[in-house]
């Protein structure tokens, strides 16, 4: 996956987490896990590409 795509996905999921309207707490936990995993993938990608 491209770096820009990872950045966009992370931003979208992070915004969904921040603006979560309530409801099923498992959904909020899932958003948190996706946000964390996308951040990890982005950092790994940047490290491997030598961008950091």
Angstrom distance (rounded) from CA 18 to CA 3: 22
pLDDT value at residue 4? 93
Contact residues for 5 (Cβ-Cβ < 8 A; gap 6+): none
- The answer to whether 16 and 31 are in contact (CB under 8 A) is yes
pLDDT value at residue 52? 67
- DSSP class of residue 19 equals T
| Domains of the chain by residue range | 3-49
Reading the chain (52 residues) residue by residue, the pLDDT tens digits are: 789 999 999 999 999 999 999 999 999 999 999 999 999 999 999 999 887 6
Angstrom distance (rounded) from CA 30 to CA 44: 21
pLDDT value at residue 51? 73
pLDDT value at residue 25? 93
């Amino acid at each position: 996956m491209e770096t820009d795509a990872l950045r966009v996905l992370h931003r979208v999921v992070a915004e969904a987490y921040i603006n979560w309207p309530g409801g099923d707490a498992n959904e909020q936990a899932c958003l948190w896990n996706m946000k964390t995993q996308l951040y990890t993938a982005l950092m790994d990608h940047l490290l491997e590409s030598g961008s950091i």
